[in-house]
Amino acid sequence: GVHRWAFEAARNGAPDACQPLQLQELFAALELGDAAAVATAGLTASFGWTSAEAFEQQDVQEFCKVLLDRLEEVMGEGAVSRAFAGSSVSFVSCPEARHFSEREESFADISLRLRGHATLQEALLAYNRAEQLTGANQYKCEDGVLRDAVKG
């Protein structure tokens, strides 16, 4: 992981432009320091952002993707994806037509609706809850007929 990674100037370039090194220094300051907060200026600057750009709102998913891609590039193929990627299986079941299909998909992040949930665990349970496809939301089977089904 990023704690064990070792900076090499010949391979990784300038220290102030190396995101893994800046992230490592940030984690070290958080873990070893006594301050209630730590500055993220080094990590921000490593992306090449000016101080004005640092105050612009950034899309957190895009930032995460850029950071993880850069970590993967520097730390080696698979080092980051093993820790931050996953897979899920989605399915559709239509008992009346005796139809069941499932599909496995890889993901690096999920869009989780937090509003209306007291805890992260509640939000994850809701995310994985099967959906009843009934009424105006029926499932269109392979034969073209709309039927009640379950999607999860």
Predicted TM-score of the model (pTM): 0.56
- AA identity, residue 44: T
Share of the chain above pLDDT 90, in %: 41
Digit-coded pLDDT (tens) for 60-97: 778 888 888 888 888 777 878 888 888 999 999 998 88
Helices within the chain (DSSP H only): 9-12, 19-32, 41-46, 51-54, 60-75, 81-84, 120-128
- φ and ψ at residue 17, rounded to 5 degrees: -110, 5
